[in-house]
Structure 1
Amino acid sequence: MERIYAAIQLLESGGPVMIPLFILSVITIAIAFERGMYYRRHRKNSRSFFEKVAASAKSGDWAGVKQACAGSKTAIAKIVGAGLERDGSEEEMKSAFMETMTLESAGFQRYLDYLSAIVTVAPLLGLLGTVTGMISSFSVLDSGAGATAISGGVGEALVATATGLCVAIIAFAVYTFFTHQLDTIVADTERLCITVVNAKKSGWGRD
């Protein structure tokens, strides 16, 4: 209860800009949780899937590759499966890989642009709080109020600035983490697709 009261006091001490900053922090946490669940679902057992598909492709066991793709609900399985459905030639397979990868990558990138916007907006809101706090301090100073009243405006400015920076830092950390995860997924998927294509080349050569 004391922590809740302290949080309310902090919101009040930072001035009006603390309300949008609080909303942005909630959005950041919500996106982090949602993206974490999404990435975890699509990377579940990814290592074993990669190893099974690569081994089956190299040995020419295409039924095993299709079975592995059918048994996985991940985006990577959908990409590989799409390529196998259009395996008439190297160009068709690569085209299928690229088309499906583009569609699936959109799902991984969802909401990340919001985090990028929060990284930019949060410090600006903190700066706005700094300006309004300093204006409040100078207004009190002009009215001849004491030092305690003046320090209230300065405190508001500092709290708003610190909060804006904290929200931006958290959003940037979340954005960087998931961007790195996306880059890793894309790189791993491309390597697996190359492995499948190279394994298929021997079959095309005999046709």
Structure 2
Amino acid sequence: MITEFIETAGIAAYPLLLAAFLMIFIVFERSIIFFLNYRQINKDKYLEAVLNFNDNKQKASILNNKKGIAAEIYSNTLTKKPKNREEFNLYLDAEEVDKLPQLEKHLGFLNFIAQVSPTIGLLGTVSGMIKTFQVLGVGGSPEQMAVGISEALFTTAAGLIISIPAAAFYHYFYAKIEKLHNQLNNLRLESESILYKKEIKELNNNEISV
């Protein structure tokens, strides 16, 4: 099958085959990574962890079973026991910078494949049309002309067949990443609100005790 594809597509067959292989590999690899690391955020669970992260019993029950990048980010942040909101945000920023790129890895190359595959197919189309006109110039047979036209059409179709799923998976993965970013931003705001109220409460208690 691959041999027939190379014979039909001509010079453009090799980069198209490479693009198809890389696209399949990246999609398969990213699907596994997302399956293992991407989880919907249970906001109430995370906010409870933020409120009670100094309570060792609460920490054990809420954060011990870390599933997904979001849980790992918050678990590592709260394990550092931030003393105030500023430290909480600094630790959270550091964890997000460290963990979130794991989901974005290779997606830029997947987008590159989606963009370049039609161009490679167009290259094969131009090559096939050149062969067709060369055959016309020397008075070739209809069979020879058909080979050039077939190559011209086949490579364009092959480029699109590779490009369309590559673009679809690229946008699918990035939509999930964007959703996770939005959830984390919303969770951060609510966490800051909880920590602020906690700081005010502790300050009032200290004033009363004095």
- Is 1:134 matched up with 2:116? no
- Is 1:22 matched up with 2:24? no
Tell me which structure has the larger Cα radius of gyration: 2
Structure 2 counterpart of 1:33, one-letter code: F
Among 45, 49, 62, the alignment partner of 1:52 is: 45
How far residue 158 of structure 1 moved from its aligned partner, in angstroms, is 0.4
How far residue 78 of structure 1 moved from its aligned partner, in angstroms, is 2.3
How far residue 55 of structure 1 moved from its aligned partner, in angstroms, is 4.2
- Is 1:83 matched up with 2:77? yes
How far residue 67 of structure 1 moved from its aligned partner, in angstroms, is 4.1
Whole-angstrom distance in 2 between the partners of 1:28 and 1:67: 41
How far residue 185 of structure 1 moved from its aligned partner, in angstroms, is 1.2
Gap regions ≥5 residues in structure 1: none
Question: Is the Cα–Cα contact under 8 Å of residues 134 and 157 in structure 1 kept in the other structure?
Answer: yes
Moved segments of 4+, more than 6 Å: none
Whole-angstrom distance in 2 between the partners of 1:65 and 1:71: 10
1:175-190 matches, cutoff 5 A: 175-190=170-185
Structure 1 counterpart of 2:52, one-letter code: D
> Normalising to structure 2: TM-score of the pair?
0.85
Question: Is the Cα–Cα contact under 8 Å of residues 86 and 96 in structure 1 kept in the other structure?
Answer: no
When residues 83 and 194 of structure 1 are mapped into structure 2, their CA distance, relative to the original with a 3 A threshold, is farther
Q: Secondary structure at the match of 1:14?
A: helix
> Normalising to structure 1: TM-score of the pair?
0.87
Q: Which residue of 1 aligns with 2:199?
A: 204
When residues 185 and 111 of structure 1 are mapped into structure 2, their CA distance, relative to the original with a 3 A threshold, is same
Question: Is the Cα–Cα contact under 8 Å of residues 129 and 149 in structure 2 kept in the other structure?
Answer: yes
Question: Is the Cα–Cα contact under 8 Å of residues 66 and 81 in structure 1 kept in the other structure?
Answer: no
Aligned pair count? Answer: 198
RMSD of aligned alpha carbons: 1.9
When residues 65 and 191 of structure 1 are mapped into structure 2, their CA distance, relative to the original with a 3 A threshold, is farther
Structure 1 counterpart of 2:107, one-letter code: L
Question: Is the Cα–Cα contact under 8 Å of residues 130 and 156 in structure 1 kept in the other structure?
Answer: yes
Whole-angstrom distance in 1 between the partners of 2:23 and 2:44: 35
Whole-angstrom distance in 2 between the partners of 1:127 and 1:27: 19
Question: Is the Cα–Cα contact under 8 Å of residues 66 and 75 in structure 2 kept in the other structure?
Answer: no
C-alpha distance after superposition, 1:153-187 (max 9, x if no partner): 01101000111111111110010000001101111
Q: Secondary structure at the match of 1:87?
A: coil
When residues 180 and 65 of structure 1 are mapped into structure 2, their CA distance, relative to the original with a 3 A threshold, is farther
How far residue 93 of structure 1 moved from its aligned partner, in angstroms, is 0.8
Q: Which residue of 2 aligns with 1:35?
A: 30
Q: Which residue of 1 aligns with 2:88?
A: 93
